[in-house]
Amino acid sequence: MRRHMQVRHCVIPAAGLGTRFLPATKALPKELLPVLDRPVLQWGVEEAVAAGVDTMVVVTSRGKELLAAHFDAAPELERTLEARGKLDSLEAVRRATRLASFAYVYQPEPLGLGDAVRCAAAVVGDRPFGCLLPDDLSWGSKPVLAQLVDAHRELATPILALTRVPRERISRFGCAMVAESRGRLHRVTAVVEKPAPEDAPSDLAIMGRYVLTPAVMEALVAIGPGAGGEIQLTDGIGAVIGSTAVWGLEFEGELLDVGTLEGWLQTLVRAAAEHPGYGPALRRAMAGVSG
């Protein structure tokens, strides 16, 4: 087995403008929209904790101070809940604070995902790190980031989350060109950001979960704007292919979209339907919907 360092940090880019949810996200960060009883950002943090990560590095921006407030103590609220004997609510409020350590870094301008990730360079240091985009929820028995961390433990290389998509949808994603495969693991030989279906080197889309290495962070710090004038995370990953191996994992389970209004609605309905507490109420409500 190759030498690997434990993945201790998870970078969570959350500095975007959330324009697809306007006006709902004019004041409220889209990462705080709820799915059942907790905001989507907390779902992401819980997934990272389940992967063994102890420090969340949340990339934030001006006007999104509520992100930190959600994971901070709330002494007045906690005192009131305690005095009223609302111990379940008290426990739920405190749990968010105790999940992990939190560091917040600012991205001055939304220059792209690669730029958001490189804002975390000083906190992450010279170690491999997880990266999780909160606008997908991991759904399935083994959280996706934990699957990637397991693969990194074995291979000690960057690991990308891959899923097969119909060719006509590949232009919405980064796409991986792959060579040798070992079961669900594929060695990545190139990454192409949002290719036209006819130019796509495969049907393997790169999804928003990664284990990245110091070499990728160094490459990100060095690169300039790519497709769409943004600093692309895929360009940073592409820059290290050749000097280091990069692997992709066709993960098990699903990633459910909460980054668009339609995706968020579908995820909310699915999560409620599968929940023993909320399922019956949802089915009663749906029975009253015509069409």
Nearer to ligand UTP, 187 or 264 (CB): 264
Q: Which is nearer to ligand UTP, 13 or 174 (CB)?
A: 13
Instruction: Note whether 175 and 165 are within 8 A (CB).
Output: no
**Residue (23 or 288) nearer to ligand UTP, CB:** 23
Please report the DSSP string for 50-114 in residue order: HTT--EEEEEE-TT-THHHHHHS--HHHHHHHHHTT-HHHHHHHHHHHHS-EEEEEE-SS---HH
Would you tell me which residues interact with ligand UTP (CB under 6 A)? 13-20, 31, 59, 107, 110-113, 115-116, 133-135, 259
> In terms of CB distance, is 128 or 259 closer to ligand UTP?
259
- Cβ of residue 4: shortest distance to ligand UTP, in angstroms? 26
| Helix (H/G/I), strand (E/B), else coil: 4 | coil
Provide the minimum distance between the beta carbon of 145 and ligand UTP in the complex, in angstroms, as a whole number: 15
Least separation in angstroms between residue 228's CB and ligand UTP is: 10
Q: Which of 192, 153, 172 is nearest to 3 (CA)?
A: 153
**Taking the complex as a whole, how short is the minimal distance between the CB of residue 60 and ligand UTP, in angstroms?**
8
Question: Is the CB of 150 or the CB of 257 nearer to ligand UTP?
Answer: 257
Instruction: Name the minimum Å distance from CB 151 to ligand UTP.
Output: 23
User: b/e map of 254-275 (b: 16 or more CB within 10 Å)?
Assistant: bbbebbeeebbeebbebbbeee
